[in-house]
């Protein structure tokens, strides 16, 4: 099966290396700029109704061939699926972000932890009703 991704845009941030990136974007006040490529602009129709978005991006500088890592602040190795480390077989980054501003193909957001230049893969609306029982 062909599971090849295409970049739909690019993320620009203050994070140039993995040492710059916050352990969780949620706790940073930095903003990042998402630029959606013009050929995908029609897909943004109606997006401005959303205060929060799910962003999927490609962690292009992450290793893909490890199954255990020592997470930040821990001393023992853990299976990568029980961590949010970028290291994983399919390095798809997930962030819930807050929208600061949306103008044409540019979306400025908070809470994103992507390194500068990361390829954008997908944008999905986040609904508070996703999580009714665990709030």
Note the residues at the interface with its own copies (CB under 8 A): 1, 3-8, 24, 26, 36, 40, 42-47, 49-50, 52, 54, 56, 58, 60, 67-68, 77-84, 88-90, 92, 94, 96, 119, 121-125, 128-132, 134-135
Distance CA 72, CA 116 (A): 21
Q: Output the smallest distance, CB 11 to its own copies, in A.
A: 14
Question: Tokens representing 42?
Answer: 């029609």
Q: Output the smallest distance, CB 20 to its own copies, in A.
A: 21
Cβ atoms of residues 93 and 86 within 8 Å: yes
Closer by beta carbon to its own copies, 15 or else 93? 93
Q: Output the smallest distance, CB 99 to its own copies, in A.
A: 12
Closer by beta carbon to its own copies, 88 or else 109? 88
134 CB-near residues (< 8 Å, 6+ apart):
none
Q: Output the smallest distance, CB 121 to its own copies, in A.
A: 5
Burial (CB count <10 Å: 0-12, 13-18, 19+), residue 1? exposed
Bridge-based pairing state of the strands 68-69 and 106-110: unpaired
């Amino acid at each position: 099966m062909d599971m090849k991704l295409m970049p739909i845009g690019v993320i620009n941030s203050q994070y140039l290396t993995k040492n710059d990136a916050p352990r969780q974007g949620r706790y940073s006040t930095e903003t990042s700029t998402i630029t959606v490529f013009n050929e995908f602009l029609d897909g943004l129709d109606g997006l401005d109704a959303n205060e929060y978005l799910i962003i999927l991006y490609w962690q292009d500088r992450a290793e893909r061939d490890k199954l255990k890592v020592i997470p930040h602040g821990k001393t023992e190795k853990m299976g990568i699926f029980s961590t949010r480390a970028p290291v994983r077989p399919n390095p798809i980054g997930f962030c819930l972000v807050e929208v600061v501003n949306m103008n044409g193909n540019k979306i400025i957001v908070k809470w994103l932890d992507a390194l500068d230049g990361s390829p954008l893969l997908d944008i999905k609306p986040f609904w508070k009703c996703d999580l009714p029982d665990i709030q």
